[in-house]
Amino acid sequence: MNRRSMLLGLVAGLCCSPLMAQTGEAMASPPAKAEVALGPVKVTVDYHTPLMRGRKIMGGLVPYGQVWRTGANEATTFVVSGGDVSIAGKPVAAGSYTIYTLPSETGWKLIISMETGQWGTEYHADRDLVRVDMDVHKLPAPQEKMSISFESTVGKRTDMHVKWETTDVSVPILAK
Torsion of CA 105, 100, 24, 140, to 10 degrees: 30
* pLDDT tens for each residue of 5-36: 444 343 344 344 343 444 445 578 999 999 99
Residue 121 confidence (pLDDT): 87
Helix (H, G, I), strand (E, B) or coil at 21: helix
Cβ burial of 5 (10 Å; 0-12, 13-18, 19+) is exposed
CA 94 – CA 99 distance, rounded (Å): 14
Surface-to-core class of residue 71, CB atoms within 10 Å of its CB (0-12 exposed, 13-18 middle, 19+ buried): buried
Sequence-distant contacts of 55-63: CB under 8 A, at least 24 apart: 56/165, 57/164, 57/165, 57/167, 58/103, 58/164, 58/165, 58/166, 58/167, 59/105, 62/103, 62/164, 63/103
As a whole number of angstroms, the distance between CA 59 and CA 65 comes to 9
Stretches where the chain sits below pLDDT 70 are 1-26
Would you state the pLDDT for residue 26? 57
